[in-house]
Structure formats: structure tokens, C-alpha cells
Amino acid sequence: MAHLLYSLVFCYLKSNYGLALLALGFISLACLCIGRAGSFVQRLPLPDGHELIWGHERLVFMHEPGHAFRTWIAKLGPTFRIKAAFGAPDILVLSDPTGIAHILQRKIFDYLRSFVHESHDSLVLNDFATFVENTGSPSCELNILTWTAKATLNVVGRVAFLHDFEGGNSREAQDIITARRAGITPAARYAGFLSLMLLRRFPILNDLPIQAIQAQGTAKRTIQAGVAKEMIARNKSFVNPGEKREHRDLLSLLLIASLEDRLSADELSEQISTFIMTGHEATTMTLGFTVWELSRNQGIQDRLREELSDFTGEPTYNDFQSRLPYLDAVLKETLRNFTGEPTYNDFQSRLPYLDAVLKETLRKYPGLPYMERVATKHDIIPLGQPVKLSDRSVTSQVEVSPGQIVLIPIIAIQRLNSLWKDAEKFRPERWLEDLPSEVKQYPGWSNLLVFSDGPRSCVGSRLAMFQYKVILSGLVTRFRFGAVPGEVTLKIASSIQPWIKGHEARGPQLPVSIQLI
Ligand code: HEM
């Protein structure tokens, strides 16, 4: 029966999106009536203000990322439920550190880890300097994201795939960046939200030719049809499964896995596009947000520049490595045994303020603002802070059934005033002080959830932090950044994206003024 209904909806979708929506709304209403009464999660506190079709999800979408969750956490505590769109079962929202640690650290690790390889980005820095010089004026304005995208793509190409994206200027690099930008704008619009809600409720819609849905995959398809094919063809003959130890880059490891039939051709292509996309997207945004914050906080920018100039003078990537022997040793240790646990706190001992700027950016602008997990079996999630149920009893655990969606509102947790005191302020100094004890209860690298935690945490976090530090050091010692008028609003299009109010059509923007030092 449900199948028949979906087929009908498909016909509508092909011809009329509005009618199809109505039909899906109808099905959802039917689902709403059937509901999931009686589950434990239904006894958790529920914020006011949900709508019949949208539940609370439209409210979440309409405000700045994290805003709705922060309001609800302040009112109901860290554990509650919200109504999902289209009559899907209620979503468990979990900001409780004990519960989060339970969820993120239970799964068995089964992801192929990558090796980091040598990288050079002086090419990109020089390219940037030439760009600024060529403007012919002492200072110019630029959307810094256009440049950080090129820089990070260049690093990921060289580090993971032995591929030269020519400082992000090659045709294929430009194709990837353009495709990604083309995918972001529709995803952040209302139609994008609508598509996401429909997809979550009716995953079968994934293959339909709806622009806001398909736009998400444009960059992936661009990579798979272009550079991924090229990389595979060019490198396949160089790898030899018998000499695994000689091959330390990710591409060779993937190719060996494919030659040994541990990875299908499709999986190989998926892995390459996933690593290229995830490997440059979040770091692009993190670096962009840092530069933007520095442009508005000259004191912080000066302090950082001072720390770096005491240390490096005029650094290139290679200088950076040779002048930081300990940092270099940590990197080499990482190369030698990637599955070991090189401590990134080691970075702190040498450049503590740079480290603090990185952490403060990741706290305020987590690339992935919300993280979702779906329970695959019945489970009991322990809580640090008890929650009051609808029958007024108090509990320190939440029972979940298979299929239950659990949402961890990372950006809300990392911007909660009750945790951080002055959460909206960009203040790297907080990382040089003792963190509040409530913050220390959270799992994750430096008590942040920005890279997730546990076995499925970000496999690229070490590379991300290393390339961030290298690139930012180069930028801050060679350029001065200044503020440009314009109000930035944040939206979510799979990752967190900045828009300038009134200039949304230009896509994600973080404009700053730049001066050569
Ligand atoms: C600042 C930069 C970065 C941030 C904030 C970030 C954040 C994250 C987060 C939160 C996850 C977990 C997602 C989830 O479970 O739903 C993740 C997973 C992942 N990240 Fe990153 N990431 C960054 C950079 C990178 C880089 C540079 C690479 C690769 C070169 C990378 C590759 C991956 C991969 C492959 C996964 C999936 C891991 C798995 O499912 O086991 N990331 N990242």
C-alpha cells in the first residue's frame, strides 16, 4: 500500500512539485495519527511551538544555527525531544555530556585511516601575494573563502592523493570549487530545508531530479567524472600490493584495496570524492571564519602575528617545518604510525596562541553544526543531568528503540552562555585559561564536539589542524586583514555557511580587506 502511495507521489513529483508535497503531507498526516505513542522518548520534555506538518524543524531552520536549541536547553535542560517534520517520530535532542560520550564511543572502528604525506603551500601563498600586489593599491577587498578554498584543495590534493591542483588554479580545481558553490546556495534556501525534511522522511526520493536535492551531489559528481578517474588511471600501474609499506598516501592505499578486491570500483570513486570534499570544505570554512574574526579583532590578530614573528620571520611551509623541530617531529611520528595517538596538545606547547585561535574558531564555527545518529538497536543512554518526564518522575537515563533519531546540537552546546560565560565572544584567551568545569565534562578533542569523538570521529582532524596552522601562520605574517562593512548571517547547507545580509545571491561570503605587510 505504502509503495503504491509512493509511486503516485513520484508521478506527481515529475510533473508538479507542489501537488507532490501535498500528497506527501497527506501521507505524513496519516503517519502522525498512527504515531509512536508509548515510547520512552515521548515522555521527555517537549518545547512549545511545534507545527502540525513541520514539527519543530522549521523553527530550527528559520533561526541562526543553534539558536532554537540554546533557547530550549535554557528552558528544559540538556535532554529533551522535538517534533520532527512530516510526522516522523520525535527526535531526541541530546546535549548532556554523559549521554553524548555514550553515543560517540560505542561503535567498533572500521574505517580505513589515511596517511599524511608531505605538502607545500608556499605556491598558494605566493599566488595570493601576487594577487594582492597586482591590484596596484595598498589594500584590496576579497571574499576570503575563494582563497581558502583554493589553499585547502591544494593541500588535500598533494597530501592525500599526490595530485597537483596547481594552487587551486587548475581547471579541475576550479570545476570542483564552482560545483560546490553551485550546490550550497539552493541547499541553504527554504527549498533545501524542505528537500532535507522530505529526504529524511522518504529516503526513496533521493534519486529524483529535484534541484535542491541533486545540487548537493554536483561537486561529488564533478570529482567522480573528472579528477578521480584521472587519478585512478594515472596511478594504478604504480601501486603494488606486495609493497604496501612503500605506499603511505591515501590514494595508493585505496588503489591497493581495490586491486585486492576489498573495495569495488564504485567505492573507490566514492572514497576519493568523499575525501576531496570533506578534506577541503570544513577547513576552508574554519580558516575563512578565523580570518574574518581576526579582521574584526585587530588585538587578537596582532598578538598572533607577534607570536609567529618571534618564531618564524618570513615563513614558507618548509621554513615552518624546519623552524619548528618539535612540530616536525610530531608530524613525522604521525607519518610513521598514523594509528598511534600523537597528541595535538604538543602543538600548544610551541605556539599556544595559534592553538587558542584555532580552538576558538572551531568552538564558535563548528563546520558540522548538528550531528545526527540513528539507533540501530534498543539502548539505554545514561545522563549526567537527570531529566523530568511527563509523569513528573525523574530519570538519569533515556531508553531508545531502533530507528530513534538522536540529534546532538554541536553549535548550540559550543555557544551556550551557561557553559562558556561569554559564548558569543571570539576570545582565544579562554583556551589559555582553565576551562569551566562544566565544559570539561564534554567528550571530544579539547572538550569540543567539532570533530565528533570516538571511533567514527573525523579521520582528517590531524591533517585539518596541521594545514590550518601552516596556512594561517603564512597568512598572518604576510598580510594584515581589516574589517569590511556587512552583516554576516549563518545558514546550514550540510556545513555551516556565511551569507552577507542583502547579498545572498552572491553565495557564501566572508569579505575582508587585505594589505601586504
Ligand atoms: C576543520 C576541519 C574539519 C572538521 C571540522 C571536520 C569535522 C568532521 C566531523 C564532525 C565528522 C563526523 C561526522 C559524523 O559522524 O556525522 C567528520 C568525519 C569525517 N571527516 Fe572530517 N572534518 C574536518 C577536516 C577533514 C579533513 C581534512 C579530512 C580528510 C582529509 C576529513 C575527512 C573526514 C572523513 C573521511 C570523515 C568520515 C569518518 C567516518 O565516518 O568514519 N575531515 N569530520
**Residue 343, pLDDT score:** 42
| Residue 290 host element (H or E) | helix 265-296
Q: For the chain, what is the radius of gyration of the CA atoms? A: 24
How far, in Å, are 20, 39, 43, 391, 465 from residue 36 at the CA level?
Answer: 25, 7, 11, 17, 43
Quick check: 111 and 456 in contact, CB under 8 A? yes
Q: What is the secondary structure of 183-246 as a DSSP string?
A: HHHHHHSHHHHHHHHHHHH-GGGGGS--HHHHGGGHHHHHHHHTHHHHHHHHHGGG--GGGGGG
Question: 171-188 and 218-225 helices cross at what angle (nearest 10)?
Answer: 160
Q: Across the strands, what pairs with 515? A: 139, 480
Instruction: Give the residue from 252, 279, 292, 281 showing the smallest Cα distance to 462.
Output: 279
Q: From the CA of 187, how far away is ligand 1's center (Å)? A: 20
Burial class (CB in 10 A: 0-12, 13-18, 19+), 259: middle
Quick check: 153 and 277 in contact, CB under 8 A? no
**Residue 109, pLDDT score:** 36
Q: From the CA of 160, how far away is ligand 1's center (Å)? A: 14
Q: From the CA of 278, how far away is ligand 1's center (Å)? A: 6
Ligand 1, atom 30, residue with closest C-alpha = 279
Question: Does residue 456 line the site of ligand 1, with CB under 6 A?
Answer: yes
Question: Does residue 479 line the site of ligand 1, with CB under 6 A?
Answer: no
For the chain, the residue count is: 517
Q: From the CA of 422, how far away is ligand 1's center (Å)? A: 28
How far, in Å, are 28, 370, 409, 459 from residue 443 at the CA level?
Answer: 36, 16, 14, 16
CA dist 487 and 503 (Å) reads 10
Question: Does residue 275 line the site of ligand 1, with CB under 6 A?
Answer: yes
Predicted-complex ipTM score: 0.96
For residue 189, the tally of other CB atoms under 10 A from its CB is 16
Question: Does residue 278 line the site of ligand 1, with CB under 6 A?
Answer: yes
- Please report, in range form, the residues annotated as the binding site for heme: 458
Question: Does residue 111 line the site of ligand 1, with CB under 6 A?
Answer: yes
∠83-88-91 over CA atoms, to 5°? Answer: 45
Residues 6+ apart with CB under 8 A from 310: none
Quick check: 287 and 476 in contact, CB under 8 A? no
- Which H, E and C letters describe 45-67, residue by residue? CCCCCCECCCECHHHHHHCCCCH
Quick check: 82 and 91 in contact, CB under 8 A? yes
Quick check: 499 and 192 in contact, CB under 8 A? no
Q: What is the secondary structure of 88-111 as a DSSP string?
A: PPPEEEE--HHHHHHHHT-SPP-P
Q: What is the secondary structure of 445-463 as a DSSP string?
A: GGG--TT--GGGS-TTHHH
Question: Does residue 408 line the site of ligand 1, with CB under 6 A?
Answer: no
Quick check: 159 and 121 in contact, CB under 8 A? no
For 156-180, give one letter per residue: b (16+ CB within 10 A) or e: bbbbbbbbebbbbebebbbbbbebb
Question: Does residue 371 line the site of ligand 1, with CB under 6 A?
Answer: yes
CA dist 74 and 406 (Å) reads 19
Question: Does residue 368 line the site of ligand 1, with CB under 6 A?
Answer: yes
Question: Does residue 161 line the site of ligand 1, with CB under 6 A?
Answer: no
Ligand 1, atom 1, residue with closest C-alpha = 283
**Residue 164, pLDDT score:** 85
CA dist 227 and 177 (Å) reads 13
CA dist 117 and 316 (Å) reads 17
Ligand 1, atom 22, residue with closest C-alpha = 458
Enumerate residue ranges in the chain where pLDDT < 70: 1-37, 105-126, 187-188, 191, 206-216, 241-248, 311-350
Best probe residue, ligand 1, of 339, 457, 461 (max atoms within 8 Å of C-beta) = 461
pTM listed for this prediction? 0.80
Question: Does residue 283 line the site of ligand 1, with CB under 6 A?
Answer: yes
CA dist 505 and 500 (Å) reads 9
For residue 79, the tally of other CB atoms under 10 A from its CB is 27
For residue 457, the tally of other CB atoms under 10 A from its CB is 18
Q: Which atom of ligand 1 is nearest to the CA of 274?
A: 35
Quick check: 399 and 378 in contact, CB under 8 A? yes
DSSP H helices, 317-460, are: 317-323, 325-336, 345-350, 352-364, 410-413, 417-420, 437-440
